[in-house]
Amino acid sequence: MSSKNKTEVLIDGKIYTMSGYESEEYLQRVAAYLNNKISEIKSMDGYHRLSADLQGILLNLNTADDYFKVKKQADNLEKELSEKDRELYEIKHELISVQIKLEASEKSLETLQEEANDYQKRIVQLETQLESLQNQRNTRN
């Protein structure tokens, strides 16, 4: 198990000590995100008239909104990845099927070539026999 990291971060003008098993860089990025979100919300009309509780709730709502949007995007990407995996599986399956057909066709072609060679040899034999018979007939006449 990795050790816990501690780092000081600046959030909304105050220094806090954050700790976690993530890297210090990650903890700083989290603080930076939170600072950006706070700045974004503080720039909204009427923010300063809200109670501290409502300001906190507004920050939480906006952060949760970001989370759900990113989660939806991640879910969509995961779904796309799953579809691509399925398509890849089907393509691989089709490729294997085509390879099997190709091998069968190559074997069939080889067999047909052997048969053609055998027929060619048989033709030569028959032509030789025919010539021999014609020569015998010609010598009798």
Burial label for 35, CB within 10 Å (0-12, 13-18, 19+), is middle
Predicted local distance difference test score (pLDDT) of residue 122: 97
Can you tell me the mean pLDDT for 41-59?
95
Predicted local distance difference test score (pLDDT) of residue 35: 97
Give this prediction's pTM.
Answer: 0.63
Gap between the Cα atoms of 63 and 30, Å rounded:
12
Can you tell me the mean pLDDT for 58-78?
98
Q: What percent of the chain has pLDDT over 90?
A: 93
Q: Where does the pLDDT of residue 2 fall: very low under 50, low under 70, confident under 90, or very high at 90 and above?
A: confident
CA within 13 Å, CB half, 46: 2
Can you tell me the mean pLDDT for 106-135?
96
Q: Where does the pLDDT of residue 137 fall: very low under 50, low under 70, confident under 90, or very high at 90 and above?
A: confident
Gap between the Cα atoms of 4 and 88, Å rounded:
41
Q: Where does the pLDDT of residue 1 fall: very low under 50, low under 70, confident under 90, or very high at 90 and above?
A: low
pLDDT at 138 over 90: no
Can you tell me the mean pLDDT for 49-67?
96
Can you tell me the mean pLDDT for 9-15?
96
Gap between the Cα atoms of 71 and 77, Å rounded:
10
The residue written with tokens 């989370």 in the block is: 67
Predicted local distance difference test score (pLDDT) of residue 140: 81
